[in-house]
Chain A
Amino acid sequence: GQQLNQSPQSMFIQEGEDVSMNCTSSSIFNTWLWYKQDPGEGPVLLIALYKAGELTSNGRLTAQFGITRKDSFLNISASIPSDVGIYFCAGQRANAGKSTFGDGTTLTVKP
């Protein structure tokens, strides 16, 4: 089936540093989503991308929809301790609201 590979699997950074993570797929998606999940909680939607090449920001977060439609990246600038969590990318095919999730990137921010 479809598989989304996220990298890196985990990151340990200092507060104030910038972070970059990406997500690649063997197949095309029409929509890319980025979620953040805290332990024991549901994923929270951060950014949604709808067009190849689209670059979208949400505060300190910036995400891009790759032009091949098989990848996406998420950048976090000036990280803060509350950025800690697991970041998931998710892809959707056309006319299908279900999401296929990546395997997550665990972010740890040291104060």
Chain B
Amino acid sequence: AAGVIQSPRHLIKEKRETATLKCYPIPRHDTVYWYQQGPGQDPQFLISFYEKMQSDKGSIPDRFSAQQFSDYHSELNMSSLELGDSALYFCASSFYRAAEAFFGQGTRLTVV
């Protein structure tokens, strides 16, 4: 079965650069969630979208923005990167904001 696809899997950026992470949800899923997971930490909710509209916002820095496109894929844009932004970034998707969300394999961002 198709799963959530995230790209790239790994990304290395320098401080103050920008990064764009992409997420392709499971087919027919209309809800996308973004989470950030630091080393040894639990995933922290950043932002979510339902039917291309922002549905909830968590601890997402102002330097980050995200959107969901007409084909339901989502992109997380990160600007003015800081060393502390180094983390695993996960996208999850569900149908109609269902509780059962399925996670992608993540993008490991390293800021140097």
Contacts and interface: CB of A to CB of B under 8 A. Distances in A.
A45 B100 contact: yes
Contact of A88 (B42, B92, B94): B42
B97 A97 contact: yes
B42 A102 contact: yes
Contact of B99 (A97, A100, A103, A104): A97
A111 interface: no
A101 B90 CA distance: 13
The winner among A44, A97, A102 for most chain B CB atoms within 10 A is A97
Contacts of A92: 99
B45 A42 contact: no
Given A97-B31, A97-B50, A97-B55, A45 B108 contact: no
A81 interface: no
Contact of A45 (B31, B33, B88, B101): B101
A97 B42 contact: no
B42 A48 contact: no
Given A42-B103, A48-B99, A104 B42 contact: yes
Interface of B: 4, 31, 33, 41-45, 48, 50, 55-56, 58, 88, 90, 92, 94, 97-106, 108
Interface of A: 31, 33, 35, 40-45, 48, 50, 88, 92, 95-104
